[in-house]
Structure 1
Amino acid sequence: MTVKYDSEDAAPETMVDKAMRSILDHIHRQGLMAGDLLPSEAHFIEVLEVSRTVVREAFKSLAAMRVLEMSAGRRTRVAVFDDTAITLTLSHALRTEQLNPQQLLDARRAIELRIVELAAVRRSEAEARELLDLADRMRLARDEVEEMTESDIAFHIAMAQATRNPLFPVLVSALTATMRDTNAIVWRYRTSETAREEVMALHAAIAEAIAARDPGAARSALEKHFDVASRGLLLAGFN
């Protein structure tokens, strides 16, 4: 096999890389959408003139990237866009100390300040009620950190869904997933009822501002929430 370099610093393109690119080209040329079936592995073996192993590895790599959806006994489909790949990447970066919790929180802050404004303008009545309900659930579970964290994550994802922009829930879901690791530690340093209640009150204020269709008040409450969250991370030793 001839190895091709695009530049002196570029990695060589393998046969699997080429097969992946060809499969993606097929999806785009044919106008396939999420859920649509792909031709069989045998089709790509014949068209690309490569081995079954190459095509199978290409399929597996694209499935790991959530471009394809594969399951035993079923034809391969175009995958639905979700947070799986981004979450895995961020979790890996956090656990290998290539990113830290404060950096992830900074990214969330930048994204969610726009999200909360859009949510206040675009939310439905059902979404407004859901946010208020999730804020109540957080308050009820404030002494059960795992349950509280799941409601907290659901709150921020629900806020993102209310924007009507499908990218925002994916990004927020990926960025908030790390809270399952950090909240348990941070919450141990919020020992007073006042400190814990502050977090609950800010989520309630965000939900109420969104329900009132007040983007300015929603943004202000979210900014205060992130200030409190950042202080909590620092108190717990995350910097």
Structure 2
Amino acid sequence: MQPIKRESVADLVYEQILEQIVKGEWAPGTKIPSENELSRMLGVSRISIREAFQRLVSLGILETRQGDGTYVKEFSPGMYMNSLIPLLVLDPVDLKEVMEYRRIIEIETSGLAAERATQEDIDELQEIYARMQAATNDVAAFAAEDLNFHLAMAKASKNSLIIKVNQVVKNILSVSMSDIVSSLGTEAGLYYHKRLIDAVIQRDRELAKELMAEHIEGTILSLQERYRS
């Protein structure tokens, strides 16, 4: 964590505390530094620290124990639907469940995208793919663009509920995706994403669905092998 120079900084304090939690520096159940300690660490007033604490407590991320201090709360599955919270790195069981959800929903989403995508949607998919190609040696950048691609497919479906839920899924996977790419590589993602773009351009609903099914199923099988070893 880095000292913050500006005076009105409650939001920045909030972001730095949340970043420590997301990165796993402060795991669930961890007692975090006190207001006084964080005030010294960040170079800000206790008022800013207190405001950030209150916000995190209201979101269910932190809990204050009377006479003891402030702790990172244990995360429950229900919190996954709160898009305000970029969730912690998922354990293998949770990640498998998210991928199973994607297998169910994103196959049909791809079919809708093939039917409904505008030229602007296609341009966005191609731009994201180009950035993925340029990021094959940068795991974090590639992972971020991979998630952007799937969100862009959801946007091309023109279904507002699919878009909103996909944004939540993106938040859930935002921390774990780099680890997935690091383990599984970039080749499959590039292969399937290019073919998905082609299917959308061709307005081939069934091909788009088949490709997404293969893509997600392959990822699930690879992850199962990884956690079995």
Q: Provide the residue aligned with 2:140 in structure 1.
A: 146
TM-score normalized by the length of structure 1:
0.57
- Structure 2 CA distance for partners of 1:176 and 1:229, relative to 1, 3 Å: farther
List aligned pairs for 1:92-103, cutoff 5 A. 95=90, 100-103=94-97
Does the 8 Å contact 2:144/2:177 carry over to 1? no
Q: What root-mean-square deviation, in Å, do the aligned CA atoms of Structure 1 and Structure 2 show?
A: 3.1
Question: What corresponds to 2:201 in structure 1?
Answer: 211
Matched position secondary structure for 1:87:
coil
Matched, 1:111 2:101: no
> Given the superposition, is the C-alpha separation of residues 185 and 210 from structure 1 closer, same or farther in structure 2, using an over 3 Å criterion?
same
| Runs of 4+ in structure 1 over 4 Å off | none
- The aligned residue for residue 231 of structure 1 is 221
1:87–1:109: structure 2 CA closer, same or farther, 3 Å change rule? farther
> What's the CA shift for 1:88?
5.4
1:86 pairs with one of 82, 86, 91:
82
Q: Percent identity?
A: 21
Q: CA deviation at 1:235?
A: 3.6
> 1:41-80 counterparts in 2 under 5 A?
none
Distance 1:152-1:187 versus aligned 2 partners, 3 A rule? closer
Structure 2 counterpart of 1:125: 119
TM-score, normalization by structure 2: 0.59
Change (3 A) 1:181 1:89: closer
- Residue 182 of structure 1 and its aligned partner are, at CA, apart by 2.2
Residue aligning to 1:53: none
Which residue is equivalent to 2:166? Answer: 172
Q: Any idea what the Cα deviations from partners look like across 1:73-113, whole Å, max 9, x if unmatched?
A: xxxxxxxxxxx953357936x75x69510100111111111
Alignment correspondent of 2:131: 137
Paired amino acid for 1:176: K
Larger radius of gyration: 1
- The 1-side partners of 2:144 and 2:186 are apart by 16
Q: Name the aligned partner's letter for residue 175 of structure 1.
A: V
The residue aligned with 1:78 is: none
Instruction: Give the residue type in structure 1 aligned to 2:141.
Output: E
Unaligned stretches of 5+ in structure 2? 1-54, 61-79
Taking the aligned partners of 1:181 and 1:233, their CA distance within structure 2 comes to 16
Between the aligned partners of 1:201 and 1:98, the Cα distance in structure 2 is 25
Gaps of 5+ in 1: 1-59, 66-83
Aligned counterpart, 1:52: none
Structure number with higher relative contact order (C-alpha < 8 Å, ≥ 6 residues apart): 2
Partner of 2:183: 189
Q: Matched residue pairs, number?
A: 156
User: Residue 91 of structure 1 aligns to a residue in which SS?
Assistant: coil
